Amino acid sequence: MRARYVRIGAMDFRMALAAFTGAIFLVLGAAQAETQTFTTLHSFTGGADGEAPYAGLSMDRAGNLYGTAAYGGYATNGTVYKLQ
């Protein structure tokens, strides 16, 4: 039995090589990805600053963040807070 060889055109070979090279870069890039770190900006005490923040944050044009807390505040009915 004779071995059969399939002739691949030059364009097909270049496309396959480019796909293989791209896959290698993706694998290497994923292996070197940096991990995220988080920093606590504020710990809510349940007093005037509120307790149990919920929902999302809104940002104004100056970059200040606004949010709400379900409890606390001056009347213990919740509060709106601002992070500068």
- Top-confidence residue, 61 or 6: 61
What does the pLDDT look like over 15-24, one tens digit per residue? Answer: 777 777 777 7
pTM (2 d.p.): 0.48
Residue 12 token pair: 């097909």
Q: What is the Cα–Cα distance from 24 to 26, expressed in whole angstroms?
A: 5
Task: Calculate the CA dihedral of residues 6, 9, 14, 20 and round it to 10 degrees.
Answer: -20
Contact present, 50 and 34 (Cβ < 8 Å): no
Residue 58 pLDDT grade (very low, low, confident, very high; cuts 50, 70, 90): very high
Q: Please classify residue 68 by burial: count the beta carbons closer than 10 Å to its beta carbon, then call 0-12 exposed, 13-18 middle and 19+ buried.
A: middle
